[in-house]
Amino acid sequence: MQEVTLIGIDLGKHSFHIHGQDAAGKGIFRKKCTRKQLITFLATFHPCTVVMEACAGAHHMARFLMSFGHAVKLINPQFVRPFVKGNKNDFIDAEAICEAASRPTMRFVTPKTEAQQLVSALHRVRESLVCDRVKTSNQIHGILLEFGISLPIGRTIIRHLPSALAETALPARLIAILERLHAHYKYLDEQIAEVEKELVQQLNVDDLGQRLLKVPGVGPITASLLSAELGDGKQYGCGRDFAASVGLVPRQYSTGGHANLLGISKRGDKNLRRLLVQCARAFMQRLDKHKGILADWVRSMLTRRHSNVVACALANKLARIVWALAARHTEYHAAPVPVGT
């Protein structure tokens, strides 16, 4: 086993499949084991490179195996798929992980810390609660519309639903149903407020998060998620790489030496991309209150491009700014307008 230099692990919920190979790429062993057997096996194995797909449980397992002295790498599953040979099974998947990790140009995912995973979990819970709140609000609107009552758009009317119902003649059983939905809406509102309070508390002790709050348009929710997903930013070579990973750069379909740029690629974390676009729109809505080179650039773009295009372009710029703050440990300072312009 001393000749083994690379181990690929196909992760599962209860069973794990391992493929080990030497420096020349020759397979040395295959092994199926439980979670406990895997930890016992790798705890006594000599230090080597362990590769896994970046999926559920991968970040926790990566931190655990790094404590044993192994060098752990995570790969995006879409980069492993082309290396699967023949019919798919778990052992072939583990071999494909080793094959993908052997490529010199392969891109890897940086393992998250426990704190980063906790913040990411809070954001996923908040996103789910917000979706449920919107669904409950739409259901209330839809039920009332069936009885000829059209409520104004917005969350304020839902909060004051009992007073609105008192002004209309509706069946008692229908009012009971609507009151039940209203109670559920208020519960979701309270849960979202508590989650956001936790995110703000975490942000108050986060150095990067505090620096990100100084970026125009960036609020506590976006700053918290950026801090958790970006980390120190060293996994990206430049700001454009980070913007590309979020899907805010043009998608290419070029051939024969002719460059053909399409709309944004929409790759990566769609929630993070959506928040960056919302930050750009918030900046654009208060454009008259902003000064500097960035504000002048947005005004210039709006004279010749649609506002949606400008919002995506500004979100791209914000992503690059955010990367620079994280990777270079600097603070944001708005560049003034040059004298004489």
For the stretch 220-257, pLDDT in tens is: 999 999 998 888 888 888 889 999 989 998 888 888 87
What's residue 337's pLDDT?
Answer: 57
List, in order, residues 6 or more apart from 200 with CB less than 8 Å away.
Answer: 220, 224
What's residue 168's pLDDT?
Answer: 74
The total of other beta-carbon atoms located within 10 Å of residue 37's CB is 14
For the entire predicted model, the pTM comes to 0.83
Indicate the pLDDT class of residue 305, thresholds 50, 70 and 90. very high
Mean pLDDT along residues 34-63? 91
Indicate the pLDDT class of residue 336, thresholds 50, 70 and 90. low
pLDDT in tens, 281-303: 999 998 888 888 889 999 999 99
Q: Which of 2, 178, 29 is nearest to 94 (CA)?
A: 29
Q: Which of 149, 153, 151, 147 is nearest to 173 (CA)?
A: 147
The total of other beta-carbon atoms located within 10 Å of residue 217's CB is 20
Tell me if residue 146 falls in helix, strand or coil.
Answer: helix
List, in order, residues 6 or more apart from 284 with CB less than 8 Å away.
Answer: 298, 302, 307, 310, 311, 314
Rounded to the nearest integer, the mean pLDDT of the chain is: 88
Mean pLDDT along residues 87-96? 90
How many Cα atoms occupy the beta-carbon half-sphere of 27 within 13 Å?
14
Cβ atoms of 95 and 19 closer than 8 Å: yes
List, in order, residues 6 or more apart from 339 with CB less than 8 Å away.
Answer: none
DSSP state of 38: H
Max CA pair span of the chain: 81
Domain boundaries, given as residue ranges, for the chain: 6-101, 114-204, 208-328
Q: How far apart are CA 215 and CA 224, in angstroms?
A: 13
Residue range 6-101 forms a domain whose CATH class is alpha beta
Q: What are phi and psi of 290, to 5 degrees?
A: -105, 145
